[in-house]
């Protein structure tokens, strides 16, 4: 990362810092960089900025760097960091808000992190349609979107044989209510996808 002028960055992106705090509901300003979150994070090794640095970057208003980093897409929302954090900061919420902000700003996830976004989309599409997870539908959508139609195809047959996958979807009762929640979320987000 290039050297930064901390004061300039904070004053230029004050709105961003405030918005992350409001949307996540997390007291990001309390972080004092003890590093316990990163020490326990199972994915930190693959992130371009580990969790403690992500929180510090929010404090410093490094918006562009955050919205295009892979850390926000690799976070597995396991909450290990939160259980270790002396300030009770829900870092997974912060990561989630940053993902939403990246989507709103049209920032494409870097490298392989793009596949995480495609998986989220595929998963949520099936939940919106059936009111619950439909594994085969999610896998097919994901494979087509990621242009690898036969990805993991060799695993399909053994999973069918063991009853782990069903060919057809099962809908929950009142699946239309779930679809309505999706529509309302889109309306609140300003009519986005």
| Residue ranges binding ligand SF4 (CB under 6 A) | 31-37, 40-41, 43, 51-52, 55, 75-81, 84-87, 89, 91-92, 95
| Least gap, CB of 116 to ligand SF4 (angstroms) | 12
Contact 110, 69 (CB under 8 A): yes
First to last CA, the chain: 32
Contact 42, 78 (CB under 8 A): yes
Measure the CA–CA gap between 69 and 66, rounded to whole angstroms.
Answer: 5
In 113-152, alpha helices (H): 113-130, 135-145
| Least gap, CB of 171 to ligand SF4 (angstroms) | 31
| Least gap, CB of 48 to ligand SF4 (angstroms) | 13
3-state helix, strand, coil in the chain (%, to 5): 60, 0, 40
| Least gap, CB of 112 to ligand SF4 (angstroms) | 16
Q: Which residue has 């808000």 as its token pair? A: 97
Contact 72, 98 (CB under 8 A): yes
| Least gap, CB of 92 to ligand SF4 (angstroms) | 4
């Amino acid at each position: 990362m290039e050297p930064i002028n901390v004061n300039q960055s904070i004053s230029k992106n004050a709105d961003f810092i405030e918005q992350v705090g409001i949307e996540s509901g997390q007291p990001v300003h309390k972080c004092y960089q003890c590093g316990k979150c990163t020490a326990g994070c199972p994915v930190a090794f693959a992130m371009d900025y580990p969790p403690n640095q992500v929180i510090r970057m929010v404090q410093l208003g490094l918006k562009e760097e955050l919205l295009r980093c892979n850390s926000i897409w690799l976070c597995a929302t396991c909450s290990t960091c939160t259980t270790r954090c002396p300030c009770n900061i829900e870092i997974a919420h912060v990561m989630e808000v940053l993902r939403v902000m990246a989507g709103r700003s049209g920032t494409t996830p870097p490298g392989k992190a793009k596949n995480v976004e495609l998986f989220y989309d595929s998963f949520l599409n099936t939940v919106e349609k059936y009111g619950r997870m439909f594994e085969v539908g999610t896998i097919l959508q994901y494979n087509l979107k990621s242009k690898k139609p036969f990805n993991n195809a060799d695993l399909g047959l053994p999973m069918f044989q063991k009853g782990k996958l069903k060919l057809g979807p099962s809908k929950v009762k009142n699946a239309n209510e779930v679809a309505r929640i999706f529509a309302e979320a889109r309306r609140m987000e300003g009519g986005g996808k």
